[in-house]
Amino acid sequence: MGVTDDELLQMARDAMKNAYCPYSEFPVGAALLTDDDTVILGVNCENATYGATVCAERTAVTSALVRGYRKFKAIAIDSFLRFDTCNREVHSTQRAART
């Protein structure tokens, strides 16, 4: 059985911990599912010049292309927004539809 949406989302959430975002403090993680069920992870990587910042989706796709993948089934993206009034993490989660 392949990777479920929930598993893909958890991988994106775990990857988010490696984001490099010292300026915005807005980490984003992405998990890209290839046609053979390989999962490629990506995170956002900021630069002092915001134009050179790379988003998590782009790093995942670029990493997949470097490894020779060209067909994808799904992507999960998770971003940590803030702590709520009870000091719990609030996430904004997006998932692309499977093809």
CATH class of 5-95: alpha beta
Residue 23 has which token pair?
């300026």
**46 is an active site residue:** no
Q: Where are the domains of the chain?
A: 5-95
Report how many helices (DSSP H) and strands (DSSP E) the chain contains, helices first: 2, 4
Which residue in 7, 46, 57, 89 is the catalytic one? 57
* pLDDT tens digits, one per residue of 9-23: 999 999 999 999 999
* pLDDT tens digits, one per residue of 28-53: 999 999 999 999 999 999 998 878 89
Which single residue is written with the structure tokens 């002092």? 48
pTM of the model: 0.83
What does the alpha-carbon distance between residue 63 and residue 42 come to, in Å, rounded to a whole number? 8
What does the alpha-carbon distance between residue 93 and residue 99 come to, in Å, rounded to a whole number? 19
